[in-house]
Structure 1
Amino acid sequence: MNEKNQERDVYGAIADPTRRKLLSLLAESEELPLHEITPQFQMGRTAVSKHLAILKNAGLVVDRKVGRETRYRLNAAPLKEIKDWVSFYEKFWTDRMVILRSLLEEE
């Protein structure tokens, strides 16, 4: 893992179910302000802000100020790192299933 990836821990950021729900919510919208995000969760504004900060540090969320309001949007590019990692195991299991199917057909 290079130095940049150590700074932003995409895996740690998506490990939490609340943060995964935040990502899904942001994926469905172009951009959302905090006051529209918070009611989607059973926690206060401060807790939601902390989760958004973790996602932002991982590069998964981008924010911008519009007046006094902060709006958040998804930046899905860092998820490619996870997709690439998972795809290795997808190939592993696909190969194993081919072997299993072959063995079952022989019997």
Structure 2
Amino acid sequence: MVEHDSHSLDTIFHALGDTTRRQMLGELAVGERTVGELAEPFAMSLAAASKHIKVLEAAGLIRRDVRGRTHVCSLDPAPLMSAHQWLGIYRRFWTDRLDTLEALLRNPQPLPAESPSPAKKENDDDRHADR
């Protein structure tokens, strides 16, 4: 089993837990963006965007490079690998379960023949004895 630093994973999953931050990461996967470019699609202030960026930086998911007065952000995908590895444990778990389900659905086992209950058998016997 892969060992993971739980604090790092907590920080990464916290950062990924917000839609805005995930969309920012998606933008950065395409290429570098300034803080203003990251804020623009969300109609948010630079201060609000900066708070999201700080969370992503704390998780190690992005790097910020200051070029004069411009802050340029870029994706650092390495921490995503540890999250991916951790999730892989559960992917294997569900894949195994779904493979078992698929096998059962493709090759259904016949149900055992239903045996009559003792009360039903007595009633049937009584009806046949009256004839």
TM over 0.5: yes
Between the aligned partners of 1:99 and 1:42, the Cα distance in structure 2 is 48
Amino acid at match of 1:26: L
State the 4+ residue runs in structure 1 displaced beyond 3 angstroms: 1-4
Q: Give the C-alpha shift of residue 82 in structure 1.
A: 1.2
Shift of 1:3: 7.6
Q: Which has the higher contact order (CA 8 A, sep 6+)?
A: 1
Partner of 1:72: 73
Q: Alignment partner of 2:78: what SS?
A: coil
Gapped runs of 5+ residues in structure 2? 109-131
Residue 5 of structure 1 aligns with which residue? 8
| Cα distance in 2, alignment partners of residues 3 and 24 from structure 1 | 24
Amino acid at match of 1:5: S
Tell me the secondary structure at the aligned position of residue 52 of structure 2. Answer: helix
TM-score between the two structures when normalised by the length of structure 2: 0.73
Change (3 A) 1:85 1:4: closer
The 3-state SS of whatever aligns with 1:43 is coil
SS in 2 for 1:65: strand
How large is the RMSD of aligned CA atoms in angstroms?
A: 1.8
Rg comparison, structure with higher value: 2
Of stretches 80-89 and 16-25 in structure 1, the one that deviates more from structure 2 is 80-89
Shift of 1:35: 2.1
Which residue type is aligned with residue 96 of structure 1? R
Q: Using structure 1 for the length normalisation, give the TM-score.
A: 0.88
CA distance in 2, matches of 1:5, 1:21: 21
Q: Which amino acid aligns with 2:65?
A: R
Counterpart of 1:78 in 2: which secondary structure?
helix
In structure 2, the residue matched to 1:46 is 47
Q: Report the CA distance between 1:98 and its aligned residue.
A: 1.4
Measure, in 2, the Cα distance between the counterparts of 1:55 and 1:99.
39
Cα distance in 2 for residues equivalent to 1:26 and 1:38: 12
